[in-house]
A = this chain, B = another copy of it.
Amino acid sequence: MNDVHKYIDTNAQRFQDELFDFLRIPSISARTEHHADMKACADWLRASMQGAGLDASIHDTKGHPIVLGEWKGAGENAPTVLIYGHYDVQPAEPLDLWTTPPFEPTIRDGRVYARGSVDDKGQLHLHIKAIEAYTRTAGSLPVNVIVVAEGEEEVGSENLMPFIEKHAQRLACDAIVISDSTMIAPRSPTIGASLRGLAYFELRVHGPRSDLHSGSYGGAVINPATALARIIATLHDEKGHIAIPGFYDDVLEMADFRKQIGELGYDENTLAEETGVPSLGGEAGYSTPERLWVRPTAEINGLLSGYTAEGSKTVLPATAMAKISFRLVPNQDPATIEKLFRAHVQNVTPEGVRAEIITMHGGRPWRARLEGKLVEAAARALESAWDKPVVYAGEGGSIPIVPEFERVLGAPVLLMGFGLPGENAHAPDEWMSLENYVYGAHASASLLDELRGG
């Protein structure tokens, strides 16, 4: 193992150069104009896996390809670890808010700034480099390893589970390792205890056939933008509770986890300073980490209506649009939430306009099993890399395929994230800590070693 760790340290600069190449590819899965970049990124990744000693292959899907890396040399009786990550990234807009361009990785203060640096290219790449370190020094891996990298995580992972189901035999494993989340604080190695689910919609309110003069028609024609705002305002009550009837019916109170959270010593000031808000806020009766980890939300992700450019235009808009998503907690189900949301919108939409709801994507919430060999091995691996005790924390974001992986492959998922608070995932100036990138590679290598012998 010493050789493996030494290899990682010796080659850290080269690993970083390669990561930069990976980050330069604008693999934005949501945009059709980046189709060729997605393909180029999959090719790059296949070569990278191959270089690390894996048998790598590209598998076309109805959407973007899946890149698979396999090493089964440990034999049928040895455990198999499946590592999952994604090579697609979020759109980079608004571009003018980036300090340096999103696809020109730049180091400032020990951080790599680039779209996809932490979500999830950096966190995927460090596992590949850990594997390379093993195969180049020991000539083999201590366990069988499968790496699955998809290109559609940011657009709903529609084609991943059909692929996993189809190849369930080939992908059979004893543990699923995912690094697509954050540590609770710098130098606090963290194992993920929970994930929120997601139900994402576009709500369109239609009024007049075309935009109208707000003077000539205003007052007698219901304004779709006003109607949309009034619908949105019904999503919460005055206390910040979600006011859609039935919304909380399936929510677990998770008293045990809330007790653990209370003992974490979560620092709210850090979050307020990091985000720059006048004050934090949210649902009455819950602490900040509870609001993030064990309580569902309704968020407006986008608003568009009428005239939005420079100056003023006295228009009564024909239509108004909101992107609305719900974060879900155990045991909420996205399909049930969709039904409740549709019924609620129908109920509160004013006369004179028509509401249309388009379902974008969704995913179930998840809770980790926090006992057993996998978690224990991971705790030892992380503690050896950071020389600090592991903490167990929730994650406000969603990785919809986590519960699906467990269901289809029948193996437990381990969330071992190397992001950090304030990393700007999905926002301008996304970054990943270079220290976490290197320590993460050490932890990944140690985990393979810890899992040796099952």
Can you pick out 29 interface pairs between chain A and chain B where the beta carbons lie within 8 Å of each other?
Answer: A30-B313, A91-B311, A97-B210, A182-B216, A200-B312, A212-B275, A212-B424, A212-B426, A213-B396, A213-B426, A214-B327, A215-B398, A216-B397, A217-B275, A219-B297, A220-B280, A222-B281, A222-B282, A226-B298, A230-B233, A230-B236, A233-B233, A281-B350, A299-B316, A301-B316, A302-B313, A303-B305, A311-B360, A315-B426
Selecting from A50-58, A256-264, A351-359, the interface stretch reads A351-359
A291 contacts chain B at the CB level, 8 A cutoff: yes
CB within 8 Å of B: which residues of A? Answer: 30-32, 90-91, 93-94, 97, 155-156, 182, 196, 198, 200, 202, 207-223, 225-226, 228-230, 232-233, 235-236, 271, 275-283, 288, 291-292, 295-317, 320-323, 325, 327, 350-354, 360-361, 395-398, 424-429
Residue of B nearest to A280 (CB): B220
Chain B residues whose C-beta falls within 8 Å of the C-beta of A236 in the assembled complex: 226, 230
Chain B residues whose C-beta falls within 8 Å of the C-beta of A425 in the assembled complex: 213, 216
> A215 and B397: CB pair below 8 A?
yes
> A288 and B30: CB pair below 8 A?
no
Known: A30-B311, A30-B313, A220-B292. 11 other contacts (CB 8 A): A198-B314, A216-B397, A217-B271, A217-B396, A221-B277, A222-B281, A229-B230, A280-B352, A302-B308, A312-B361, A313-B426
> A429 and B222: CB pair below 8 A?
no
A40 to B219, CA, bound (A): 37
A214 to B218, CA, bound (A): 35
> B311 and A351: CB pair below 8 A?
no
Q: Shortest distance in angstroms between A31's beta carbon and chain B's nearest beta carbon?
A: 7
A198 to B213, CA, bound (A): 13
| Chain B CB within 10 Å, residue with most, of A235, A288, A299 | A299
Q: Shortest distance in angstroms between A397's beta carbon and chain B's nearest beta carbon?
A: 3
Q: Shortest distance in angstroms between A240's beta carbon and chain B's nearest beta carbon?
A: 9
With A97-B210, A215-B396 as contacts: A325 and B312 at CB distance below 8 Å = yes
Q: How many copies does the complex hold?
A: 2
> B91 and A226: CB pair below 8 A?
no
Q: Which 9 A-B pairs have the closest CB atoms?
A: A215-B397, A209-B276, A233-B233, A225-B300, A229-B232, A30-B311, A281-B352, A302-B306, A219-B291
Chain B residues whose C-beta falls within 8 Å of the C-beta of A207 in the assembled complex: 277
> A308 and B321: CB pair below 8 A?
yes
> A306 and B311: CB pair below 8 A?
no
A427 to B322, CA, bound (A): 22
Partner of A232, one of B226, B302, B304: B226
Residue of B nearest to A207 (CB): B277
A428 to B49, CA, bound (A): 53
A426 to B317, CA, bound (A): 10
Q: Shortest distance in angstroms between A66's beta carbon and chain B's nearest beta carbon?
A: 20
Residue of B nearest to A316 (CB): B299
Residue of B nearest to A276 (CB): B209
Residue of B nearest to A352 (CB): B281
Chain B residues whose C-beta falls within 8 Å of the C-beta of A218 in the assembled complex: 292, 297, 299, 327, 396
Chain B residues whose C-beta falls within 8 Å of the C-beta of A213 in the assembled complex: 396-397, 424-427
> A306 and B303: CB pair below 8 A?
yes
> A279 and B351: CB pair below 8 A?
yes
Chain B residues whose C-beta falls within 8 Å of the C-beta of A90 in the assembled complex: 313
Q: Shortest distance in angstroms between A11's beta carbon and chain B's nearest beta carbon?
A: 31
With A288-B220, A292-B220, A396-B217 as contacts: A277 and B233 at CB distance below 8 Å = no
Chain B residues whose C-beta falls within 8 Å of the C-beta of A196 in the assembled complex: 215
Chain B residues whose C-beta falls within 8 Å of the C-beta of A280 in the assembled complex: 220-222, 352
A321 to B306, CA, bound (A): 12
Residue of B nearest to A306 (CB): B302
